[in-house]
Amino acid sequence: MSETGTAVPAPRSGGPLADPPDPATAAWADYVAAARQLDGVRRAATTAAGEQARSVQAAREELTVVRARLAPQQARLRELGVPAISLQPTPPELTEAARSMVGGPAAVLTALQAARRWADAADDTLAARGLPRLARWPSRPRNLLVYGPLALVVPLIQLLVLLATGAGAASIVALVVGLPMPAVAFMAGWLAVGRLFRPRPVDRVDRTPRFGALVCLVPAVATTAGIVLAMLAG
């Protein structure tokens, strides 16, 4: 309000009388924005570098494992008469391998993991013992090929003795001798399954012990019951 009492209107914001922006404040805002952007770039670069370092370390470990698997395979193939030149990669294979490494450590790690799976498959073929195809059967039908014949040996002998001598002293001896034989048959089958159907020495085979014990016990129980009934009838 002026000295004469007349009200003077206040200047409007943004009008010709508004204060100009502070250069220091504008510069500070630009600095903060640039610092935030730089921090985001730095964090992204750190994350990418960490992932790449982990991929490199994993690729080195995978390479060590693959080399350790390939060395005995190469020696085994040489023992089987495979020429040494056939165990070396061909130029097209080297070119393809070099092309797969262009993608960086992650691509190299993927290629090495695939090579390890191939090495596992080769080990299954090279180190299979006894019956390599049967080793890949379901465990119960496969193990039945071992437990079954062993479980039938003693009962067949007991039946032959019964048929040859009748219900006499020989049958009693055969009956008594045959009582512990299911356990012997089971142990023999348990050992045989582990030896025949183990793809690699480091692998564990499912011996299906309960199933094997049942297979070994049923013929013995049936034969013992038959001999007892024959003796009682006699």
Taking residues 96-103, what's their average pLDDT?
A: 72
pLDDT > 70? residue 38: yes
pLDDT > 60? residue 5: no
Q: Which of 55-59, 74-78, 125-129, 190-194 has the highest mean pLDDT?
A: 190-194
> In the chain, what's the furthest Cα-to-Cα distance?
150
Query: For the chain, which residues make up each domain, given as ranges?
Result: 27-126, 134-233
Please count the CA atoms within 13 angstroms of the CA of 69 that sit on its side-chain side.
22
pLDDT > 90? residue 85: no
Residue 100's SS3 state is helix
Residue 105's SS3 state is helix
Angle in degrees, CA 150, 153, 159, rounded to 5: 150
Which tops the pLDDT comparison, 204 or 190?
190
